[in-house]
């Protein structure tokens, strides 16, 4: 839940609003003391009971019933998305390193050919 809250509220990889940051810290504390809580239990502990179509941190498409029943498909998808974004960033970094190495090798080859 803390990851979902952070990812849906971040700006430039950080939480800018002090109130949002405080909420994020509180959610982390709840999860630290009771890691077995489900996402909906964490939300309801901090934000109170959720209406049918308004679950904090999940948007209007996810109902509290979806989360209570263990059918947290959107949460799972969001976690998969976050993992995919991290993997993409790592692959892009590798690609950039490979491109730099390729450019370096090309410069060396050009220097050798000039001699």
Tens of pLDDT along 24-71? 788 888 888 888 877 777 777 777 776 656 666 665 556 666 666 554
Domain ranges of the chain: 2-114
CB atoms closer than 10 angstroms to residue 75? 21
Report d(CA 54, CA 3) in Å as an integer.
19
The whole-number pLDDT of residue 93 equals 96
Residue 86 host element (H or E): helix 73-114
Structure token pair of residue 44 = 């309801």
pLDDT at residue 73 in the model: 65
Torsion sign, CA atoms 75, 76, 82, 85: negative
Mean pLDDT of 78-95: 90
Q: Name the pTM for this structure.
A: 0.41
With pLDDT > 90 as the criterion, what percentage of the chain qualifies? 24
């Amino acid at each position: 839940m803390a990851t979902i809250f952070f990812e849906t509220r971040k700006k430039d990889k950080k939480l800018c609003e002090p109130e949002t940051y405080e909420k994020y810290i509180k959610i982390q504390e709840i999860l630290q003391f009771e890691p077995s809580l489900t996402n909906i239990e964490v939300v309801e502990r901090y934000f109170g009971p959720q209406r049918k179509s308004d679950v904090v941190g999940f948007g209007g498409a996810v109902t509290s019933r979806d989360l209570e029943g263990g059918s947290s498909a959107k949460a799972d998808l969001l976690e998969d998305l976050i993992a995919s974004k991290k993997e993409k960033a790592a692959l892009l970094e590798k690609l950039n390193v490979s491109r730099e190495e390729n450019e370096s090798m090309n410069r060396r080859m050009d220097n050798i050919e000039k001699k």
